[in-house]
Structure 1
Amino acid sequence: MRDDTDLLLRRILTDVLGLKEGQADTFEADTGLFGHLPELDSMAVAGLLTEMEDRLDIVIDDDEIDGEMLETFGGLLTFAQAKRAGA
């Protein structure tokens, strides 16, 4: 069962990247994002992070952003869940 953060993150990815409806629903933890999805380029990263902050009610510091976090859906989800939990 997907939690609220998982569902919101899938919606954010769909909206920000203009993915086909339902495309993000198929993402698994090891689904590649940055470098794998042509829609997620360096310009889209800023928009993605801004939307994550707004919709997930979190603050993402510049020093928290790295390639590993953006490499897979699972990495991004783990990061988002930890931020929402206040870790």
Structure 2
Amino acid sequence: MNVHDQVLRVLDDALSLQGRGLAWGRETPLLGALPELDSMAVLALITGLENHFGIAFADADLQGAAFASVGSLCDLVEQALAQADT
């Protein structure tokens, strides 16, 4: 399973989407487009991603732009994974 698919699973679980998010593409908008993605859900999503991937995000990386789309969220995770490998 690639990073994109794993991010979608964590996203779907964190937002209780019941499978609706599993087919989303990189361009699918998130922040501002999903009523489920409020401030509390963002915290649940961050925690879920950190736990799932065994990573920790730097505070500076957790800007609104990182949650703009599925693609930007995947990029955030891939960046954290790359930093964890070094």
- Alignment-derived partner of residue 12 in structure 1: 10
| TM-score of the two chains, using structure 2 as the length reference | 0.88
CA contact (8 A) 2:3 2:74 kept: yes
- Alignment-derived partner of residue 81 in structure 1: 78
Identity %: 32
CA contact (8 A) 2:61 2:76 kept: no
Structure 1, unaligned runs of 5 or more: none
1:45 to 2:35 alignment: no
1:55 to 2:71 alignment: no
The number of residues matched between the two structures is 84
RMSD over equivalenced CA pairs, Å: 1.4
| TM-score of the two chains, using structure 1 as the length reference | 0.87
Structure 2, unaligned runs of 5 or more: none
CA contact (8 A) 1:29 1:73 kept: yes
Whole-angstrom CA distance in 1 between matches of 2:5 and 2:69: 16
Structure 1 segments of 4 or more deviating over 6 A? none
CA drift of 1:71 comes to 0.5
